[in-house]
Amino acid sequence: MALSRLASSSGSSLLRPLTSALFLTPSLRRPISSAADDSTTLTIETSIPFTSHNCEPPSRTLETTPKELMTFFRDMALMRRMEIAADSLYKAKLIRGFCHLYDGQEAVAIGMEAAITKKDCIITAYRDHCTFLGRGGTLLQVFAELMGRQAGCSKGKGGSMHFYKKDAGFYGGHGIVGAQIPLGCGLAFGQKYSKDETVTFALYGDGAANQGQLFEALNISALWDLPAILVCENNHYGMGTAEWRAAKSPAYYKRGDYVPGLKVDGMDVFAVKQACKFAKEHALKNGPIILEMDTYRYHGHSMSDPGSTYRTRDEISGVRQERDPIDRIRKLIFAHDLATEKELKDIEKEVRKEVDEAIAQAKESPMLEPSELFTNIYVKGYGTESFGADRKEVRTVLP
Amino acid sequence: MLGILRQKVGAGSSSAMILGQRICPAASGLRGFASSAKEMTVRDALNSALDEEMSADPKVFLMGEEVGEYQGAYKITKGLLDKYGPDRVLDTPITEAGFTGIGVGAAYYGLRPVIEFMTFNFSMQAIDHIINSAAKSNYMSAGQINVPIVFRGPNGAAAGVGAQHSQCYAAWYAACPGLKVLTPYSSEDARGLLKAAIRDPDPVVFLENELLYGESFPVSAEVLDSSFCLPIGKAKIEREGKDVTITAFSKMVGYSLQAAEILAKEGISAEVINLRSIRPLDRKTINDSVRKTNRLVTVEEGFPQHGVGAEICASVVEDSFGYLDAPVERISGADVPMPYAANLERLAVPQVEDIVRAAKRACYKSSSLAASA
């Protein structure tokens, strides 16, 4: 069945984009009543209407297909499972240093991908595992990188905060809060300079929203009409500081002043998709726009933060019950009779297995050779010397 | 030869510096010494290098304050806006963190930005992008994201501009793996190193000197050719000698050459090395020279602690200890923020006599130690 097929095509299925895995599972393509083909469209509404600043908001009514709904469910379930597994690996000390988890915020990554192409660019901060996966990264690359192995997306030299996938327009993975925003505007500059007709989404949190460099970059982007979309993933806490303690005005979508903005329910993947589609069209014609995604992270800021000293457990469980992005899709799937509860549970089991297999494979990936300490410092090293801790013991020539 | 003589009149006297004049070649009154070699100011050298590289590669663009319509705060980018248009020569607001980040992002995307800092003092506002966004990216991404960017502008002391506008950043930037740091002295250096920097696939910090912009140097036909390029990481022996090695970069090369002239009259043959590249540092040329002369004086304009001279001294002690006949001498800026008053400013930067004195000390030929302030 589905599981055995995944097992037999072991390595290759992990490298295939997430959505195509669905084609290997014909059992899910037998919904109870609706037709299984892509031509069926379903009309749905976002959870709430969009609130806008200096622009006309897009409609809250949009169309989707059963395939898209099922894909959203599986993809978000995969991301959720990946982050939970990372939590366990961290506690088992297989992941070291920083580990910032994205569970709860999956709808932003998935909805955005659904609205754009791999020629559009995404740049984000350190909560980047799911964004990387959405751009086409594999589970193996994620887990191997987190464990510092050769099969990692940065060969183990970056770590949790430094995932990149340039061929799919994903430019990281940045550890300095706020720095990614001017960098993202620079990507947009490059796109405009090259006349590529593509856009850049620069993601940042409510904590970074107060950074001066954001306003510097936004000013320049507006002056030069850069196709830059600033996306504030407002999960309401900058580490342990609630937004009302950090920002005089927490209406982040309005903070652009002369730059239009849209407030979006970030837990609703369709709202995210609609907003990103709207933003892309806007940015290509009129320059920068701000999207504020109202979202939530279940974990603390990072694995060293329990996440419950500055917010109540009731709040966390409340959001999980009322607004969880995966549950929203589950309810939509049931409402449109696209799958049974068992079928969805089977998908979740499959996803869990996929993640477990990737972890096993990542554990097999070797650690880097010591000589890799000195690679990639430069593209061109001109034969200059580099040194280890004891320069009389360890020195090398950079190619 | 011509270059050295011009130096003496132009940069040697402190009174000329205090007036803050751009040293114009005409003032030197040395036209009579003109040879058939063509002369070029450092300013023109930089301008022509930018022009040629922009012409050769459409991905190269300039960004900075006043680089366009103002023709450059120091006129380095003169004429380039007219020639290449506002899409490639971009005037920015006074927001270093923002425009430097945008430049680095453009380099991520594959363009080749040349970011101008009006002086490198202002680069501190953007230093996170230079170090964390640019220098480290190739390493953190295991080679996926390289950053072919150049950060250029005047560095170090000018004349009478005070503490916040006079710092030398060579030591700070050169400490960082992932960056390349170049320090041209002559027009040949300016042309060759800037072209090399723009063509380089890694981030380059290009430290110019305001007081050198107006200096003229002879340039050969080879230097004037549009394909001319100097290697990164190679120092130049400006003057050969056998008694003591003097290392210097930027403006201090001129001072060291003047010191060498004075020392020659006293029977000391000094070898002057123009470092050209602070990172990578040409340890081989320096060590080969010290193994020949057995004595070393390092000269720099910047703060002494953890400076370029400290690194050179350590390098020589590690690799050529047995060849040293005397302790390494360091000449540097004074360990103080730059004062404004002319007489104090003169005390805060190295003078030719300081280099001469140190070289003599290294040769065990001085009769007294310098009086403490």
B365 pLDDT band, cuts 50/70/90, is confident
Residue bearing the bigger pLDDT, B366 or B268: B268
Contact residues on chain B for A385, CB-CB shorter than 8 A: 280, 283
In a domain, A243, yes or no: yes
A335 pLDDT band, cuts 50/70/90, is very high
Name the percent of chain A lying above pLDDT 70.
90
* pLDDT for residue A25: 42
Output the pTM of the full model: 0.89
A300: closest CA of chain B, how far (Å): 25
Q: Judged by CB atoms within 8 Å, which residues 50-79 of B form the interface with A? A: 61
Q: A95 and A80, same structural domain? A: yes
* pLDDT for residue B371: 46
B138: closest CA of chain A, how far (Å): 6
Contact A189 B105 (CB under 8 A): yes
Q: A383 and A317, same structural domain? A: no
Q: A376 and A360, same structural domain? A: no
pLDDT digits (tens, 9 = 90+) for A297-307: 999 999 999 99
B57: closest CA of chain A, how far (Å): 13
Q: Which chain B residue is nearest to residue A169, measuring alpha carbons?
A: B109
Please compute the mean of the pLDDT values over residues B332-352 and round it to a whole number: 98
* pLDDT for residue B366: 58
Q: Which tokens is A320 given? A: 């999980």
Query: Using an 8 Å Cβ cutoff, are B241 and B204 in contact?
Result: no
Contact residues on chain B for A380, CB-CB shorter than 8 A: 200-202
Name the percent of chain A lying above pLDDT 90.
89
Q: A374 and A277, same structural domain? A: no
Residue bearing the bigger pLDDT, B35 or A140: A140
Q: Which helix (H) or strand (E) holds A146?
A: helix A139-146
Indicate if the pLDDT at residue B359 is higher than 90.
Answer: yes
In a domain, A7, yes or no: no
* CATH code, A94: 3.40.50.970
Q: A227 and A92, same structural domain? A: yes
Contact A213 B105 (CB under 8 A): no
Q: Which helix (H) or strand (E) holds B299?
A: strand B296-299
* pLDDT for residue B1: 43
* pLDDT for residue B37: 73
Q: Judged by CB atoms within 8 Å, which residues 198-217 of B form the interface with A? A: 200-202
**B178 vs A: CB within 8 A:** yes
Query: Using an 8 Å Cβ cutoff, are A137 and A302 in contact?
Result: no
Indicate if the pLDDT at residue A7 is higher than 50.
Answer: no
CB-closest option in A186, A383, A384 to B109:
A186
B165 annotated active-site:
yes
CB-closest option in B107, B128, B142 to A157:
B142
Indicate if the pLDDT at residue B235 is higher than 80.
Answer: yes
A350: closest CA of chain B, how far (Å): 31
ipTM, 2 dp: 0.89
Please compute the mean of the pLDDT values over residues B345-371 and round it to a whole number: 86
Q: Judged by CB atoms within 8 Å, which residues 274-313 of B form the interface with A? A: 280-281, 283
* pLDDT for residue A354: 98
* pLDDT for residue A122: 98
Indicate if the pLDDT at residue B26 is higher than 90.
Answer: no
Ranking A38-52, B60-74, B80-94, B294-308 by mean pLDDT, the lowest is A38-52
Indicate if the pLDDT at residue B367 is higher than 90.
Answer: no
B96 annotated active-site:
yes
The CB-side HSE value for A106 (13 A sphere, CA atoms) comes to 26
Q: A133 and A70, same structural domain? A: yes
Q: Which chain A residue is nearest to residue B200, measuring alpha carbons?
A: A380
Domains B38-224 and B236-363 share a fold: yes
Indicate if the pLDDT at residue A125 is higher than 50.
Answer: yes
B361-369 own/partner pairs: CB under 8 Å, 24+ apart: B361/B326, B361/B329, B362/B244, B362/B295, B362/B296, B362/B297, B362/B326, B362/B327, B362/B328, B362/B329, B363/B243, B363/B244, B363/B268, B363/B295, B363/B326, B364/B326, B365/B266, B365/B268
Contact B101 A121 (CB under 8 A): no
Q: A338 and A386, same structural domain? A: no
Enumerate the domain spans of chain B.
38-224, 236-363
Contact residues on chain A for B144, CB-CB shorter than 8 A: 154, 164-166
Please compute the mean of the pLDDT values over residues A33-41 and round it to a whole number: 61
DSSP letter for each residue of A346-388: HHHHHHHHHHHHHHHHHHHSPBPPGGGGGTTS-S--TT-EEE-
Strands (DSSP E) found in chain A: 42-45, 51-53, 61-64, 121-123, 200-205, 228-234, 237-238, 241-242, 261-265, 289-294, 385-387, 395-397
Contact A217 B92 (CB under 8 A): no
Q: A387 and A257, same structural domain? A: no
Contact A187 B106 (CB under 8 A): yes
Query: Using an 8 Å Cβ cutoff, are B45 and B187 in contact?
Result: yes
Indicate if the pLDDT at residue B31 is higher than 80.
Answer: no
B151: closest CA of chain A, how far (Å): 15
- Cis, bond preceding A173 (omega within 30 deg of 0): yes
Nearest-Å Rg of the Cα atoms of chain A is 21
Query: Residue A248 belongs to what domain range?
Result: 49-368
Contact A165 B144 (CB under 8 A): yes
Strands (DSSP E) found in A65-163: 121-123
Residues paired with A293 in a beta bridge: A233, A264
Contact residues on chain A for B97, CB-CB shorter than 8 A: 182, 212-213, 216
In a domain, A25, yes or no: no
Contact residues on chain B for A185, CB-CB shorter than 8 A: 98, 101-102, 105
Contact residues on chain B for A173, CB-CB shorter than 8 A: 140-141
Indicate if the pLDDT at residue A15 is higher than 60.
Answer: no
Indicate if the pLDDT at residue B99 is higher than 70.
Answer: yes
Q: A387 and A305, same structural domain? A: no
Average pLDDT, chain A: 92
Query: Using an 8 Å Cβ cutoff, are B46 and B39 in contact?
Result: no
In a domain, A17, yes or no: no
Contact residues on chain A for B111, CB-CB shorter than 8 A: 189-190, 193-194
Contact A171 B145 (CB under 8 A): yes
Q: A154 and A116, same structural domain? A: yes
Q: Judged by CB atoms within 8 Å, which residues 218-257 of B form the interface with A? A: 231-233
3-class secondary structure, B123: helix
Contact B100 A182 (CB under 8 A): yes
Please compute the mean of the pLDDT values over residues A33-51 and round it to a whole number: 79
Q: A394 and A287, same structural domain? A: no
Q: A388 and A328, same structural domain? A: no
Q: Which chain B residue is nearest to residue A175, measuring alpha carbons?
A: B132
CB-closest option in A166, A187, A212 to B144:
A166
In a domain, A84, yes or no: yes
Indicate if the pLDDT at residue B245 is higher than 60.
Answer: yes
**B103 vs A: CB within 8 A:** yes
Contact A182 B280 (CB under 8 A): no
CB-closest option in A184, A378, A384 to B138:
A378
CATH of B38-224, one of 3.60.20.10, 3.40.50.2300, 3.30.1360.40, 3.40.50.970: 3.40.50.970
Q: Name the catalytic one among B96, B116, B188, B215.
A: B96
Amino acid (1-letter code) at residue A305: D
Distance, CA of A285 to CA of A276 (rounded, Å): 14
**B144 vs A: CB within 8 A:** yes
Name the percent of chain B lying above pLDDT 90.
88
Question: Testing the interface with B: which of A121, A378, A385, A398 to mutate, by most B Cβ within 10 A?
Answer: A378
Domain B236-363 belongs in CATH node 3.40.50.920: yes
Contact residues on chain A for B138, CB-CB shorter than 8 A: 376-379
